[in-house]
């Protein structure tokens, strides 16, 4: 089922949770809505589901406008972070629930429902546990049951709201791989919300990066990571070093280094900022140009060595990240003078106070909260705004 989202606006009081969202999702795609708390990702998911209604705009499922359609008629499968299983029902009854409450004219026979539920139990790798209750399952098993229940109604769209957020790190990692395999098997159009960058980059066909109710960038996992469209996207997807620079004669100058031809985002002879990840800083070869810096500290964390350094010309703080067996590690002793090269980087114009929030650096201005705009907003509005 393909989905078209056109000009969706949604506010809580005067607080703009969604501000003109447009998005096309192809049939069978696995899409991640990624962003910090308050970015609008969960509000967008709930609006697609019909749990919230947009103030304006359209959402089409396969060309059908759904905005006036109640949630039960949209035929979406929804999986929440906290499972939402019925504690007094067995696993089999939980999975069967959506089928048993259908209108009599559409409801399968009791035997067909049981057969379907058992097939789904096998699909989510929980065969033989149909008589157990949720309290007798692990967190990962309960989330699989919740997913099987969502699949039982053969949804047009599968929606997942931070499905692994309540699980520990190892279980999350295992379930991510399993969910990707399950998606390949079922082929459902799937949209999931997450604030976990690694989760989005590992699972999704495409990532939708959101900030302050708007979409900052849509792209494949490689596109958003390797070619971030805005400083916000660059910073949100991983640790970031920011260096001041200048474009002169079509080239970027940073701390005496000319690392590359200027990016298409920049104009001639303007101040810019150079964004580079810690893993893209390396020691320059003898005789090659580089950024002069002094190492202030070095610490090993498992297989990774992280060093902090101060750029000599600009005074910018730099973080360097290397595998612990990398040849550069022995030179990164506290107090050492080093010359650093930029393996890969992005160039952005210097943000001005008049620019829109979408192009401001993350953290450069405080994000307005609902309480700032509507001090006496109802508690339900504050809770919705707090969680996106």
Lowest mean pLDDT among 99-108, 177-186, 256-265, 353-362: 353-362
- pLDDT mean across residues, the chain: 86
**Residue-level pLDDT at 261:** 64
Residue 44 has pLDDT above 50, yes or no: yes
47 against 166, higher pLDDT: 47
Query: How many CA atoms, within 13 angstroms, populate the side-chain half-sphere of residue 328?
Result: 23
* Pair of tokens at residue 166: 């309540």
Rounded to an integer, the average pLDDT of 198-219 is 96
From the candidate CATH numbers 2.70.98.60, 2.40.50.100, 3.40.710.10, 2.40.40.20, the one assigned to the domain spanning 239-349: 2.40.50.100
Domains of the chain, by residue range, sit at 3-232, 239-349
- Contacts of residue 158, defined as CB under 8 A and 6 or more positions apart, other chains included, come to 76, 77, 79, 150, 151, 188, 189, 190, 191
- For the chain, how far is it from start to end, CA to CA, in angstroms? 25
Residue 356 has pLDDT above 90, yes or no: no
Q: Each residue of 283-338: pLDDT tens digit?
A: 998 888 889 999 999 999 999 999 999 999 889 999 999 999 999 999 999 999 99
DSSP 139-165: HHHHHHHHHHHHHHT--SEEEEESTTT
Give the CATH number of domain 3-232.
3.40.50.300
Q: Each residue of 65-92: pLDDT tens digit?
A: 997 788 888 889 988 876 678 999 999 9
352 against 221, higher pLDDT: 221
CB atoms within 10 A of CB 239: 11
**Residue-level pLDDT at 264:** 56
């Amino acid at each position: 089922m393909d989905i078209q989202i056109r000009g969706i606006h949604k506010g809580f009081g005067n607080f703009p949770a969604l501000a003109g969202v447009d998005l096309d999702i192809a049939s069978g795609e696995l899409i991640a809505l990624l962003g910090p708390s308050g970015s609008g990702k969960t509000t967008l998911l709930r609006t697609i589901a019909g749990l919230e209604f947009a103030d304006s705009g359209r959402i089409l499922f396969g060309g059908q406008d759904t905005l006036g359609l109640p949630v039960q008629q949209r035929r979406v499968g929804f999986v929440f972070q906290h499972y939402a299983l019925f504690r007094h029902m067995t696993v089999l009854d939980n999975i069967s629930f959506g089928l048993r409450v259908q209108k009599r004219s559409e409801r399968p026979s009791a035997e067909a429902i049981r057969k379907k539920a058992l097939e789904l139990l096998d699909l989510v790798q929980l065969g033989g546990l149909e008589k157990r209750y949720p309290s007798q399952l692990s967190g990962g098993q309960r989330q699989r049951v919740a997913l099987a229940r969502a699949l039982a109604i053969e949804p047009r769209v599968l929606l997942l709201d931070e499905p692994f957020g309540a699980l520990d790190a190892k279980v999350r990692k295992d379930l991510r791989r399993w969910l990707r395999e399950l998606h390949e098997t079922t082929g459902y159009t799937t949209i999931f919300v997450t604030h976990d960058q690694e989760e989005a980059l590992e699972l999704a066909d495409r990532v939708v990066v959101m900030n302050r109710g708007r979409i900052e960038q849509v792209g494949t996992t490689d596109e958003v990571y390797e070619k971030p469209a805005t400083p916000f996207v660059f910073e949100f997807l991983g640790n970031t070093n920011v260096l001041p620079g200048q474009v002169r004669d079509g080239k970027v100058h940073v701390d005496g280094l000319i690392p590359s031809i200027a990016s298409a985002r920049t104009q001639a002879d303007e101040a810019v900022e150079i964004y580079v990840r810690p893993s893209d800083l390396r020691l320059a070869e003898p005789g090659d140009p580089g950024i002069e810096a002094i190492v202030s500290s070095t610490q090993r964390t498992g297989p990774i060595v992280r060093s902090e350094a101060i750029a000599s010309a600009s005074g910018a703080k730099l973080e360097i990240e290397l595998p612990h067996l990398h040849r550069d590690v022995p030179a990164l002793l506290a107090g050492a003078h080093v010359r650093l090269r930029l393996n890969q980087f992005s160039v952005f114009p210097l943000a001005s106070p008049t620019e829109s929030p979408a192009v401001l650096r993350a953290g450069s201005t405080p994000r307005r909260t609902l309480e700032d705009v509507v001090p006496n907003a109802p508690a339900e509005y504050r809770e919705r705004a707090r969680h996106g």
